Amino acid sequence: MKKKILILMLALLPIFMLGAKNSSSSTSSNSVPATTTSAGQKATPKKSKYIIASDSSFAPFVFQNDNSQYTGIDMDLIKAIAEDQGFTIEITNPGFDAALNAVQSGQADGMIAGMTITDARKETFDFSEPYYTANTILAVKNNSKISSYEDLKGKTVGVKNGTASQTFMENNQKKYGYKIKTFSDASSMYDSLNSGSVAAVMDDEPVVKYSISQGQKLKTPIEGTPAGDTGFAVKKGSNPELIEMFNNGLANLKANGKFQKILDKYLASNSKSSTDTADETTITGLISNNYKQLLQGLGVTIALALLSFAIAMVIGVIFGMFSVSPIKALRIIATVFVDVIRGIPLMILAAFIFWGIPNFIESMTGQQSPINDFVAGTIALSLNSGAYIAEIVRGGIQAVPVGQMEASRSLGISYGTTMRKVILPQAARLMLPNFINQFVIALKDTTIVSAIGLVELFQTGKIIIARNYQSFRMYAILAVLYLVLITILTRLAKRLERRM
Ligand code: ASN
């Protein structure tokens, strides 16, 4: 069926197949600060595995290559250091802001994401020795007339949330009178620049220069401003051995030339992220290069929707029954549950479960959270749909005339039996179309939980766009994929409805 979806998508989208070739230029900004740790040292790992969080698209430091693998300076560096020092790592790539949160809430042990060492961050993070020095720089479209910060007056500048560039722009906002728009990831930020909804973006110089070298039609009219050194970070006071191992490993890699090799691999002016894969400026090229990744994302979306909906049905039926119960306490519990969950936006619920609660537990007990993004997303979606289903169940039961309950009870049949044998069978038929409706909503809501870094279909698309900037075609592909998926599922559900 998955194959069929892709074929259908191909058939529906010939209109987007016009290609736009990009021109290419090359530049690199490159500086390695001196470090003091001497080579030849080794520290002992204390954990069997360290979870390292990173950005999702911050080329050349971290980005997905054409095979959907995360590569870049930071990825190669941390792997080489782990190998050198003999510790095991698992890397997650939820995005910069999400990575900051993951480390702070104890979901990750450390983070490497071209992270600037700032005084403010030193309050909450411990840093390794620096491995790179980067400026922060303003990027505008090739044809933009902006040539100074003064030209930004009244215009909107994009920044990525939680970044050093954001701090820089905020500190200078009064002086130059621009507006700031904050983005959760690079792809939406650069998309907005391309589409003209922001006049400029601020980002790290090597990143901007790299994207220009990869064919992005951008320019940097103003000299970059030193943002500081780049380092590896852990939550303040935690995993000191990880910092020690990073420093030792960095010193060794510098001494044996491997570090320079990693830099050269990504910063040499002729380095290209694309190799012998298809042209990504067409729909067919996009699909043939990324279908594996898209199917994976689709799989996560379907699993998330089905699993959370099944749990939501259980929650919803329980609370729905509570809300029509003759026992007042149960009715109150149901009302409170529905009101609380319906009153909290899904995104905040997901963030609270994934970051908030673990952060709280960690600060109380020092224990790391066992909840991963999929589990947190499933819980949030289940609670959310559960509240709506509870209302559907209540409505369905109440739509059955009260006379039926009274008649049955007057015949001496118990409340439970009347419910099971008389009311629920009729109510279920009334509820079914609403359940289907709720399922479609739940499936679409899976896109919302991508905010916690969960790589479902939407997030997969955003990651691909971050690599190739093909937002028009990629979002069209995503829209068609969701459309096909939802149409198939609703058709199936309708058939089921008819059978019942
Ligand atoms: N240099 C940026 C910062 O430290 C990192 C990033 O955007 N990944 O804020």
Residue 351: count other Cβ atoms within 10 Å of its Cβ: 18
Which atom of ligand 1 has the smallest separation from the CA of 163?
A: 9
pLDDT confidence of residue 76? 97
Task: Say what percent of the chain tops pLDDT 70.
Answer: 91
CA–CA distances in Å: residue 397 to residues 393, 413, 428: 6, 18, 8
Ligand 1 centroid, distance to 164 Cα (angstroms): 6
Q: What is the mean pLDDT of the chain?
A: 88
CA 165 to centroid of ligand 1, rounded, Å: 7
Task: State whether the beta carbon of 462 lies less than 6 angstroms from ligand 1.
Answer: no
Q: Binning pLDDT at 50, 70 and 90, where does residue 233 land?
A: very high
How far, in Å, from the CA of 101 to the mean position of ligand 1?
14
Asked whether the predicted pLDDT for residue 393 surpasses 90, the reply is yes
Higher pLDDT, 277 or 437: 437
Find out whether the beta carbon of 160 lies less than 6 Å from any atom of ligand 1: yes
- 102-122 as b/e: b if 16+ CB within 10 A: bbbbbbbbbbbbbbbbbeebe
Spell out the domains of the chain, with CATH numbers in brackets: 49-267 (3.40.190.10), 283-498 (1.10.3720.10)
pLDDT mean over 457-461 = 92
Q: Which two tokens stand for residue 231?
A: 């380092």
**Ligand 1 atom having least distance to the Cα of 166:** 9
- Whether 111 lines ligand 1, by a CB cut-off of 6 Å, is no
* 364 or 178, higher pLDDT: 178
Neighbouring residues of 248: CB distance < 8 A, sequence distance ≥ 6: 37, 41, 42, 43, 84, 85
Residue 55 CB less than 6 A away from ligand 1? yes
Position 341, amino acid: I
Residue 147, SS3 per DSSP: coil
Please, which residues have CB within 8 angstroms of residue 333's CB and are 6 or more apart in sequence? 319, 322
H helical segments located in 25-159:
73-85, 96-104, 119-122
Give the per-residue pLDDT at 269. Answer: 60
Gap between the Cα atoms of 127 and 136, Å rounded = 19
Please report, as a single letter, which amino acid is at residue 251: A
- Whether 121 lines ligand 1, by a CB cut-off of 6 Å, is no
pLDDT tens for residues 93-103? 988 988 999 99
Ligand 1 atom closest to Cα of residue 227 = 1
pLDDT score, position 278: 67
Q: Is 122 left (phi over 0), alpha (psi -120 to 50) or beta?
A: alpha
Kindly give the distance from the C-alpha atom of residue 137 to the centroid of ligand 1, in angstroms, as a whole number.
Answer: 12
Indicate the burial class of 195 (C-beta count within 10 angstroms; 0-12, 13-18, 19 or more): exposed
Whether 60 shows a pLDDT value over 80: the answer reads: yes
Q: If you search the block for the tokens 């902006």, which residue do you land on?
A: 146
Give per-residue pLDDT as tens, 20-35: 333 333 333 457 888 7
Nearest CA residue ID for atom 9, ligand 1: 163
Q: How far apart are CA 380 and CA 446, in angstroms?
A: 10
Ligand 1 center from residue 292 Cα (angstroms): 29
Closest to 323 in 3D by CA, of 421, 386, 383, 395: 395
Cα of 158 vs centre of ligand 1, distance in Å, is 14
- One-letter identity of residue 59: A
Transcribe 72-87 into DSSP letters.
SHHHHHHHHHHHHHT-
pLDDT of 377: 94
CA distance 206 to 136: 9
Reported as a single tens digit per residue, the pLDDT across 200-216 is: 999 999 999 988 888 88
Closest ligand 1 atom, residue 165 Cα: 9
pTM of the complete model: 0.71
Confidence of residue 16 (pLDDT cuts 50, 70, 90): very low
Of 477, 495, 490, 398, the C-alpha closest to 437 is 490
What is the rounded distance in angstroms from the CA atom of residue 238 to the CA atom of residue 111?
12
Strand partners, 183: 160
454 CB burial (10 A radius; 0-12, 13-18, 19+): buried
Residue nearest (by alpha carbon) to ligand 1 atom 7: 163
Strands 110-111, 50-53: pairing is parallel
The DSSP output letter for 21 is P
Tokens of 47: 């954990």
pLDDT digits (tens, 9 = 90+) for 83-95: 999 999 999 998 8
pLDDT digits (tens, 9 = 90+) for 148-187: 999 999 999 999 988 999 999 999 999 999 999 998 888 7
**Ranges of H-type helices in 352-456:** 357-365, 373-399, 402-410, 415-418, 424-445
pLDDT at position 114: 95
Residue 364 has a pLDDT of 83
Burial class (CB in 10 A: 0-12, 13-18, 19+), 289: buried
Ligand 1 pocket: which of 163, 190, 208 to mutate (most atoms within 8 A of CB): 163
**pLDDT tens column, 266-310:** 987 655 544 445 677 789 989 988 898 899 999 999 999 999 999
pLDDT above 90 coverage of the chain, percent:
64
Pocket test for ligand 1, best of 63, 93, 115, 135 (most atoms within 8 A of CB): 115
- Structure token digits, residue 404: 């039926």
Q: Is 115 in the pocket of ligand 1 (CB under 6 A)?
A: yes
pLDDT value of residue 9: 44
3-class SS at 266?
helix
